[in-house]
Structure 1
Amino acid sequence: MPISTISLVLFAALLHAGWNALLRGGADRLWSMTVMCLAVAGTCIVLALFMVAPAMASWPYAVLSGVLHVGYNLFLVRSYRMGDLGQTYPVARGSSPILIALGAAIFAGEHIQASALAGICLVSGGIILLAFSKGKLAVPSLPYALGTGVFIAAYSVTDGIGARLSGAPMAYTVWMCVLWGVLMPMVYIGRRGARSLFAYRPGMATAAAGGLVSLLAYGIVIQAMTDAPMGMVSALRETSVLFAALIGWFFLGESLTVRKVLACTIIAAGTIIIG
């Protein structure tokens, strides 16, 4: 994988950890996530005016991905209600690279070399190790965290295939995010009403900024998946847990133990092997 691609995906990982920390630190995470989606949708509608539409063959994947992203949002918000960022985030993100590599092999015909697969396994194992406490996987929100990982794998493989068929990965990203950014507010309004969504609250600007950061991060990842195997790109993206652990330590008052340092070392080793 080219060093430029690796660098961009690692940058996306940093951005991804940042917006997850913003979401975890919010008082009403469902509202924050929905405001993020509105910001993404509004931005993407403007960007779409200046882009050539993606090929028709990619549109079913964009629609499916938009629906899967809504499921991901709902599971992620629920898992954050029940666990720390340093526990929930590693399970959700650590379970996805192996699932993505498997999905890419089944649905996209990708073949990964043994050394790269070993690197992916190290990254996933190191990430999940971050969630262990006293030798146990002590995550109150474990079913939702694992469900989040499944949604991540599903939309990642869907977007990897869709972007390759689109002929224009950035245009595909923009239109997929428009669909996602419209569907999520519809779900929110159905649950809580429009007044709850659009009434101004403290943190609205922060949530909107988080949406723009997430858009940039995922756009980088989709572009990378058109040039490199999805499992490898995913594993590099999930190094965001390294940044999440540090953010949780510095800003959210979460502990940084010897076990976490060891896990981060394993993740770094896997990243080097992939690179």
Structure 2
Amino acid sequence: MMPPAVYALVLFSAVLHAGWNAALRGGADRQWAAGWMALATFAVALPALPFLPLPSAACLPYLLFSSVLHCVYMWLLVEAYRHGDLGVAYPIARGSSPILVTLGALIVVREIPSPIALVGIGLVSLGILAIAHDRGRVDRRTVLVSLATGAAIACYTVSDGLGVRSAGNGLSYNAWLSVSYGLTLSLIFTYRKGVGGWRGEPRQIWLAVGGGVVSVVAYTLVTLAMRDGAMGLVSALRETSVLFAALIGRYVLGEELRFRRFAACAAVALGAVLLAR
């Protein structure tokens, strides 16, 4: 059983995660916003490096692999939001990852969840997927890209779970990951768009930068939680972010939130309760 403080960290991370995804989805140019988020991630994490111990050399393969995976994830996320609403793309992407993470943790580190935890993971995942189908017809491309996003999430979650455990210091691992990923994606954006591609309205720039800072905080909380809790359980509990994403989508982005979707959210919440037992 994970300590209560770990549950609190993951749930707070879920709120933050839903918030920065809403900021990305609501932007007019999501690729541009993703570039600024990555740059903010790099800028926030870089000053912390001198004050943190160097992570163990054993975590280097995970660190490099995860940096690439996070870049792929952000690209897929931008594509998913280009074709679908937050209330559709987000649940499919987040809902498909807990099952994949649990399978990955089972295969890689022989992490076997309890029967009640399996029920909880199932409820969380099925509830989230039900949210995605609440609106009836869903664009096929949205589903495929969102599922690919979920696979990327599952891969980097397992990789980071192993990396943070071998690093010796969770904060150090996450700081180096943020620097590596943020710098890489910023350079890719500059190569594709040029220096002039960074121009934009100050308000939109600050919104994207804020989203990048929030994303660093959110994922730092998750990587710290993975030190003390099973990777599959942490991942599944974090997916309660769809509850907050549904509310943000309704009241901030003006998306539809019907009873069927609310019932699916309730299934997610019940699954989280079972995970907490």
Q: So what's the TM-score if we normalise by structure 2?
A: 0.96
Q: Kindly state the Cα deviation for residue 142 of structure 1 after the two structures are TM-superposed.
A: 1.1
Q: Which moved more, 1:183-192 or 1:228-237?
A: 183-192
Asked if the contact 1:88–1:139 (Cα under 8 Å) also holds between the matched residues in 2, the reply is no
Q: Kindly state the Cα deviation for residue 74 of structure 1 after the two structures are TM-superposed.
A: 0.4
Alpha-carbon separation, structure 1, partners of 2:12 and 2:135: 32
Deviations 1:175-201 (A, max 9, x none): 01100001101221222222202x243
Q: Which moved more, 1:202-211 or 1:236-245?
A: 202-211
Q: Map 1:19-30; keep pairs closer than 5 Å.
A: 19-30=20-31
The one-letter code matched in structure 2 to 1:75 is L
Structure 1 position 180 matched with structure 2 position 181: yes
Alpha-carbon separation, structure 2, partners of 1:217 and 1:134: 29
Residue of structure 2 in register with 1:228 after alignment: 229
Q: Map 1:37-116; keep pairs closer than 5 Å.
A: 37-116=38-117
Residue of structure 2 in register with 1:201 after alignment: 201
Asked if the contact 1:131–1:138 (Cα under 8 Å) also holds between the matched residues in 2, the reply is no
What is the CA RMSD across the aligned residues, in angstroms? 1.2
The one-letter code matched in structure 2 to 1:209 is G
Asked if the contact 1:91–1:142 (Cα under 8 Å) also holds between the matched residues in 2, the reply is yes
Structure 1 position 261 matched with structure 2 position 275: no
Q: Kindly state the Cα deviation for residue 108 of structure 1 after the two structures are TM-superposed.
A: 2.0
Asked if the contact 1:72–1:152 (Cα under 8 Å) also holds between the matched residues in 2, the reply is yes
Identity among equivalent positions (%) equals: 46
Asked if the contact 2:89–2:143 (Cα under 8 Å) also holds between the matched residues in 1, the reply is yes
Q: So what's the TM-score if we normalise by structure 1?
A: 0.97
| Aligned CA distance change for structure 1 residues 200 and 165 (closer, same or farther; 3 Å) | same
Alpha-carbon separation, structure 2, partners of 1:164 and 1:115: 25
Residue of structure 1 in register with 2:154 after alignment: 153
Alpha-carbon separation, structure 1, partners of 2:135 and 2:201: 39
Asked if the contact 1:55–1:165 (Cα under 8 Å) also holds between the matched residues in 2, the reply is yes
| Aligned CA distance change for structure 1 residues 265 and 27 (closer, same or farther; 3 Å) | same
Alpha-carbon separation, structure 2, partners of 1:259 and 1:219: 33
Asked if the contact 1:87–1:139 (Cα under 8 Å) also holds between the matched residues in 2, the reply is no
Deviations 1:30-55 (A, max 9, x none): 11111111111011110111100100
The one-letter code matched in structure 1 to 2:55 is P
The one-letter code matched in structure 1 to 2:201 is R
The one-letter code matched in structure 2 to 1:51 is L
Asked if the contact 2:240–2:268 (Cα under 8 Å) also holds between the matched residues in 1, the reply is yes
Structure 1 gaps, min length 5? none
Alpha-carbon separation, structure 2, partners of 1:244 and 1:200: 26
The one-letter code matched in structure 2 to 1:85 is L
Structure 2 gaps, min length 5? none
- For the residue of structure 2 that corresponds to 1:247, the secondary structure is helix
Residue of structure 1 in register with 2:239 after alignment: 238
Q: Kindly state the Cα deviation for residue 137 of structure 1 after the two structures are TM-superposed.
A: 5.0
Q: Kindly state the Cα deviation for residue 235 of structure 1 after the two structures are TM-superposed.
A: 0.7
- For the residue of structure 2 that corresponds to 1:95, the secondary structure is helix
Alpha-carbon separation, structure 1, partners of 2:163 and 2:30: 29
Asked if the contact 2:134–2:261 (Cα under 8 Å) also holds between the matched residues in 1, the reply is no
Moved runs in structure 1, 4+ residues, more than 3 A? 133-140
Alpha-carbon separation, structure 2, partners of 1:16 and 1:178: 19
Asked if the contact 2:34–2:74 (Cα under 8 Å) also holds between the matched residues in 1, the reply is yes
Q: Which moved more, 1:12-21 or 1:102-111?
A: 102-111
- For the residue of structure 2 that corresponds to 1:47, the secondary structure is helix
| Aligned CA distance change for structure 1 residues 66 and 134 (closer, same or farther; 3 Å) | closer
Deviations 1:76-107 (A, max 9, x none): 00010000000000000000000000011111
Alpha-carbon separation, structure 1, partners of 2:113 and 2:8: 20
Alpha-carbon separation, structure 2, partners of 1:136 and 1:112: 34
Q: Which moved more, 1:180-189 or 1:75-84?
A: 180-189
Deviations 1:56-93 (A, max 9, x none): 10011111101000000000000100000000000000
